[in-house]
Structure 1
Amino acid sequence: MVNASQPIWTHAHARPDAVALRIDGQEWTFGELRDGSAGWAGRLIHAGVAPGDRVLLAAGTQADWVFAYHGILAAGAIAVTVNPGSTFNELRYFLDDSGAVLALADDGTQAHVSRAGEELRVPVWNVNDAAEWTGPPVAQPRDVDPGDGAVIMYTSGTTGQPKGAQLTHRGIQGSARSVIEAIEITADDHFGTALPLFHVFGQVTIIRTAYEAGIPVTLLTKFDAAALLETAARHGVTLLAGVPTMWNAMANVGPEFDSLDFSRLRLALSGGAGLPTKVAAQFHDRYGCEILAGYGLTETAGVGACPRIGGPRKPQSAGVAWPGAELAIFDTEHRRLPPGSVGEIGVRCEMSLKNYWNRPEATAKAWHEDWFMTGDLGRMDEDGDLWVVDRIKDLIIRGGYNVYPKELEEILYTHPDLLEVAVVGVPDERLGEEIAAVIVLREGRAFDLRQMQAWMAERIASYKTPRIYHVVPELPKGSTGKILKRKIDRADVSSLGFRTVKASGAVHTS
């Protein structure tokens, strides 16, 4: 039997009363998870949803999302999982582009999805009203080909419309098994996170891995540093997952959290963006838990690199290839580069996407032979350890010199006055691009331009030093908490960054 949802049936048969899911204090067993998923699969099949049909799922974190998602997979259909915070235009685009035959919404997305469905003549069901639709629950998931599509996730690009990355049953199961091996998951483990479920990190790396292994997942419907820490301590979470801004927030909560019991917490998994060394150290010092900052992509079902468990740590390295994957570095002509050279990261594994939905040209462009070309710059050493230098699109070329924002951000995060940082390039008539640091100050701190310039001069070459510092109350973030550089207004940064400098060297923070 091949179907990515099958492990739920297997674990439900072996341990029906074991806790599978916990959300905001409510619990569901593996037996209840199987029954909920089987019910949704039956409803979809009874409504005429055929293998390979796309079903849009636009809902927030809740048990009904988990049941419906696995029901879609069990029916042999393809789950199109989208951000419930999407606008009407975005939801209409996802519905139209995917060619979905049915859409599932919740109370929060119902109005937008129903309007889009009406325009496109696609039926819309409310995922919270399962009783309205009938159909006998399936006894077992439908058998599918391992290479059949299971999920479509839309990737947000800086230009053009988002592309739907189609992942396969083989891919998401292979990813889960890779995670289990890489971080040595056992039956005693317990995942906890506040990551959204429509994203590959929460959906595949956490949910699918947990149910492949038969362990529980505790979720928060929305990230809150205090709530996630309290939840992890109360339920004995062993594996905590998040993105860098989450670790930063949890590392900076008040001292009242130091008394919580984190004795069962053995590992934290970080993804979505580079994790500053200082943030990782602060979290470890407070909670006694190491953060494994790995590397993965939607297109590879979250697979990429991960530090070795119990192995030597190399500063700022993302680790070695996940089990079942290979990594290599390529130049612009797709020639493999030797250790130590910076080039584009390629990933070769069976977990990679089947295609970009209905985009053969984009699919072909993303591949070199059987290597998926990531669009990320990196280097590897003789041991196979990977350092992710930056996104190719984020590279700043200042006066002919390559400047990597991630390198500057790593330094700026060590400044005692700075809470969050994003380094971007802004247009410059003379140099082509100028380097700008968009920063959030810690509460009660002031910012002095001359002092910052002197502090940076001691730590990095002059040509890499930001010439613009723009102080903001907060940085734009996506639903996972990842800082979204594409939403930073370069024109504002360029103009306001210069204008906020007083003759005294002080900088306005308003």
Structure 2
Amino acid sequence: MNLADRLRAAAERFGGRTVLTLDGAVLGYRALEVMSARVGALLRRRGIRPGDRVAVMLPNVPEFAVVYYGVLRIGAVVVPLDPLLKRREIAAYLVHCGARLVIAWHACAEAVEAGTAGTGADYLFVEPGEFRRLLRGVPPEHDVPATADGATAVILYSAGTTGRPKGIELTHGNLAGNAATVARMHALGVDDVVLGALPLYHAFGQTCVLNATVQAGARVTLLPRFEAGRALEVVRRDGVTVFQGVPAMFVALLDQPGVSDLSLLRLCVSGGAALPLDVLRAYEARVGRPIIEGYGLSETSPVAASNRGGPGRRPGSIGRPVRDVEMRVVDDAGREVRCGEVGEIVVRGPNVMKGYWNDPEATAEALRDGWFHTGDLGRADGDGFFFLVGRRREVIIRAGRTVYPREVEEVLYEHPAVRQAAVVGVPHPELGEEVAAYVAARAPVDAAELRAFVKERVAAYKYPRRVWFVEEIPTTPTGKILKRALAPPPAARPG
């Protein structure tokens, strides 16, 4: 099974129906299939063989899908990279995975030319008009060779929130199965229009937007860069019915005066990071549509758990495991903890990665005992719903007492002046660690007020003694707060 077979099957079923739009640009299923077959033929001409790594450095444009399926259909491996990467970052990734070729957006030319120097990788730039002319001169090769389910399809370099990036190997079986699960779970159909605001170079965007849409015969309307006002315009203009986003997107939409006018939406899905409960409530009150919160990591392709509609939804939880996936909460010895107790979330199922590229030690550590150890702390209730508490590495130990940052962040988000919040532990000579908070405010507020607000709602040892005000809290493209990038900045306003 090759993931590109899903596109070929969709092209046979849906032919001229539209699969991708970007403002005035329109691409149909059949056209996408033919163009990707031309890309496959072009790559073969350039000596790319099954198993070779091809870096793809494209924003959310139709050409991403053309190249993505073109690489996959010849058995090569897609290595999606953020188009904003700089020379040193590009070089590091290319050397690590041994990429033969980089296919990059024309605006990235300078960084890519510098980044490929000395790596042995060639490059090809995509400028829409010229790229299409190039492909027209290449006869399409429609054959998709048989590919084992366990063959690597994609290597994702997740920036992570705490440590060095790793190359996550996802197989054709991982990605195709997870996309089918998402399409089925969200009842995606041919009349759906999905907003393509999530980065397609990340697992969330690839699986839940691109591959699930192709699986269902629906349409994606692309948004190369998320801006809340622009997203609202596209939702209204193109009749978007499914909006899948990260918490930062929902926070940004709440600041838009027109957010309540989204009557066409039938489904809103949040993932990529924990959604503050207060943000969920505020959004649902204004929009009148529930947010279905899910959970996963790049290593789980990415969806591992999700709420469902109606009685299958529990606000504040990440839901239950999706089809064919198992989840447990375990202690440090790998033993399942009692209901309601906090431990590490572990996952087992066909969505779990093959491993970390060329890193057998990290792979063995992550996949020990037959389960993928997520590093996320959580708990499960008696009905099988899971709740995130935080990252294991982010837990704060203050004077021997455990503080889970997310619990404090949830309280901060309840304050009407708080737009973003991140709670971290900072060194303390007597207590070991002290609780500190970074806050991006939407209205005037001082640190003393925030400290008092939190102190009224949590145990005395949990409230943040230190508060720093910043304009924006750094996040990954999928909305996770980059806590490793948080240090008391000189420009921050202390409180």
**Fold similarity call, TM over 0.5:** yes
Which of 203, 207, 214 aligns to 2:206? It is 203
How far apart are residue 182 of structure 1 and its match?
2.1
Counterpart CA distance in 2 for 1:74 and 1:170 is 14
- Equivalent pair of 1:193/1:228 in contact (CA under 8 Å): no
Match for residue 453 of structure 1? 451
What SS does the corresponding residue of 2:311 show, helix, strand or coil?
Answer: coil
Letter of the structure 2 residue corresponding to residue 44 of structure 1: L
Counterpart CA distance in 2 for 1:449 and 1:394 is 22
Match for residue 45 of structure 2? 46
How far apart are residue 449 of structure 1 and its match?
3.2
Larger deviation: 222-231 or 112-121?
112-121
Q: Give structure 2 stretches of 5+ with no counterpart.
A: none
Residue 248 (str. 1) matches residue 251 (str. 2) = yes
How far apart are residue 6 of structure 1 and its match?
1.2
Deviations 1:14-63 (A, max 9, x none): 22111100123321111111111111111112222111111011122211
Match for residue 69 of structure 1? 68
Which of 163, 166, 180 aligns to 2:166? It is 163
Match for residue 360 of structure 2? 360
Match for residue 408 of structure 2? 408
Following superposition of structure 1 onto structure 2, how do residues 108-119 of structure 1 map, counting pairs within 5 Å? 108-119=107-118
How far apart are residue 405 of structure 1 and its match?
0.8
Counterpart CA distance in 1 for 2:70 and 2:362 is 30
- Equivalent pair of 1:193/1:242 in contact (CA under 8 Å): no
Could you say if the C-alpha distance between residues 157 and 237 of structure 1 is closer, same or farther in structure 2, counting changes exceeding 3 Å?
closer
Larger deviation: 263-272 or 387-396?
263-272
Following superposition of structure 1 onto structure 2, how do residues 226-237 of structure 1 map, counting pairs within 5 Å? 226-237=229-240
- Equivalent pair of 2:41/2:139 in contact (CA under 8 Å): yes
Match for residue 225 of structure 2? 222
Counterpart CA distance in 1 for 2:489 and 2:471 is 17
Match for residue 139 of structure 2? 136
Letter of the structure 1 residue corresponding to residue 256 of structure 2: V
Match for residue 57 of structure 2? 58
Match for residue 190 of structure 2? 187
Counterpart CA distance in 1 for 2:29 and 2:190 is 14
Counterpart CA distance in 2 for 1:54 and 1:220 is 27
Match for residue 103 of structure 1? 102
- Equivalent pair of 1:59/1:108 in contact (CA under 8 Å): no
Larger deviation: 237-246 or 115-124?
115-124
Match for residue 506 of structure 1? none
Residue 470 (str. 1) matches residue 468 (str. 2) = yes
Deviations 1:205-242 (A, max 9, x none): 21111111111111101001111112112222111011
How far apart are residue 374 of structure 1 and its match?
0.4
How far apart are residue 399 of structure 1 and its match?
0.9
How far apart are residue 110 of structure 1 and its match?
1.6
Match for residue 350 of structure 2? 350
Counterpart CA distance in 2 for 1:343 and 1:257 is 37
Aligned-pair Cα RMSD in Å: 1.8
How far apart are residue 308 of structure 1 and its match?
2.0
Could you say if the C-alpha distance between residues 370 and 118 of structure 1 is closer, same or farther in structure 2, counting changes exceeding 3 Å?
same
Counterpart CA distance in 2 for 1:315 and 1:283 is 12
Aligned length: 491
Could you say if the C-alpha distance between residues 315 and 15 of structure 1 is closer, same or farther in structure 2, counting changes exceeding 3 Å?
closer
- Equivalent pair of 1:54/1:102 in contact (CA under 8 Å): yes
Letter of the structure 1 residue corresponding to residue 208 of structure 2: T
Could you say if the C-alpha distance between residues 411 and 161 of structure 1 is closer, same or farther in structure 2, counting changes exceeding 3 Å?
closer
- Equivalent pair of 1:3/1:143 in contact (CA under 8 Å): yes
Letter of the structure 1 residue corresponding to residue 459 of structure 2: A
What SS does the corresponding residue of 1:409 show, helix, strand or coil?
Answer: helix
- Equivalent pair of 1:210/1:217 in contact (CA under 8 Å): yes
What SS does the corresponding residue of 2:414 show, helix, strand or coil?
Answer: coil
Counterpart CA distance in 2 for 1:253 and 1:491 is 29
What SS does the corresponding residue of 1:6 show, helix, strand or coil?
Answer: helix
Counterpart CA distance in 1 for 2:145 and 2:139 is 14
- Equivalent pair of 2:161/2:483 in contact (CA under 8 Å): no
Deviations 1:258-312 (A, max 9, x none): 4x4x333111111111111121122222222111111100001012110122225
How far apart are residue 140 of structure 1 and its match?
3.0
Residue 78 (str. 1) matches residue 77 (str. 2) = yes
How far apart are residue 81 of structure 1 and its match?
0.4
Larger deviation: 235-244 or 158-167?
158-167
- Equivalent pair of 1:24/1:221 in contact (CA under 8 Å): no
Q: Give structure 1 stretches of 5+ with no counterpart.
A: 502-510
Counterpart CA distance in 2 for 1:234 and 1:40 is 31
Counterpart CA distance in 2 for 1:451 and 1:121 is 57
How far apart are residue 394 of structure 1 and its match?
1.2
Letter of the structure 1 residue corresponding to residue 202 of structure 2: H
How far apart are residue 158 of structure 1 and its match?
5.5
